[in-house]
Amino acid sequence: KMSEVSEVVTKADIKPKSMHRAKIWSDDVENLYRFQQAGYRDEVEYKQVKKVDKVECWPETGFVKKLQRRDNTFYYYNRQRECEDKDVRKVKVYVY
């Protein structure tokens, strides 16, 4: 499944207008959690920094499968949910 983030990425160096914290878990919050664990704001920033067109995702769930950190080491993620309820409020949701 393609996210609406993909269309936003084409414009160079976009900055979010605002940020709020996630309140409940969702597929989007799960993926944001994974990007933020790897040291990125979200998919937009990851694609800008790493100059990639798409992020590798699990076909069954659509969750991010693998991310390259800024120091070029890789983070590998499970098919299942990794963001626990206690961590949901730590996730930053950016508005463009």
pLDDT in tens, 41-75: 999 999 999 999 999 999 999 999 999 999 999 99
Cα gap 55→64, rounded to integer Å: 7
43-50 and 27-37 helices cross at what angle (nearest 10)?
40
Contact yes or no for 21/92 (Cβ under 8 A): yes
Domain-wise residue ranges, the chain: 24-95
Please, what is the average pLDDT of the chain? 90
Q: φ and ψ at 8, to 5 degrees?
A: -70, -30
